Amino acid sequence: EVISDAQTIWWNGPMGVFEIDKFSKGSIKMSHYISEGHATSVVGGGDTADVVARAGDADEMTFISTGGGASLELIEGKELPGVKALRSKENE
C-alpha cells in the first residue's frame, strides 16, 4: 500500500542475500512492486541495479545508478567529488 501510494521511491540496497536464489524472492518482489507503480523510481547501487535487471524491470524504472553510496550522499545534500570537479572546470 505504501509503495502504491508513493510519488517518489529511492531504493538503495537489495533485501537480503539476493545472489542465492532461495533468498532472492523479497528483492525480486520489491522490484516488481516498484516497477508496477506510478512513482518516480530511483534505484541506487550496483547490487540493487542487478536485482532490477534480474527481475526484468529495468525499463520500468525512472533512473538506475550503480553508485549506491554516492546516491545516498547526493540526497543528503553532500557535494560529490565528480560533480565538484565538473563545476570547477566549468567555472575556469
Among candidate residues 92, 70, 72, 64, the one with its CA nearest the CA of residue 83: 70
In CATH, the architecture of 2-90 is: 3-Layer(aba) Sandwich (3.40)
Determine the average pLDDT of the residues in 10-29. 94
Look at residue 32 and tell me whether its pLDDT is greater than 90.
yes
Q: What are the cell numbers at 81?
A: 567529488
Q: What is the C-alpha to C-alpha distance for residues 72 and 17, in angstroms, rounded to an integer?
A: 21
Look at residue 83 and tell me whether its pLDDT is greater than 90.
no
- Do residues 57 and 35 lie in contact, with contact meaning Cβ atoms separated by under 8 Å? yes
Look at residue 19 and tell me whether its pLDDT is greater than 90.
yes
Q: What is the mean pLDDT of the chain?
A: 93
* pLDDT (tens digit per residue) in 50-67: 999 999 999 999 999 998
**Which of residues 10 and 71 earns the better pLDDT score?**
10
State percent of the chain over pLDDT 70.
100
Q: What are the cell numbers at 80?
A: 560529490
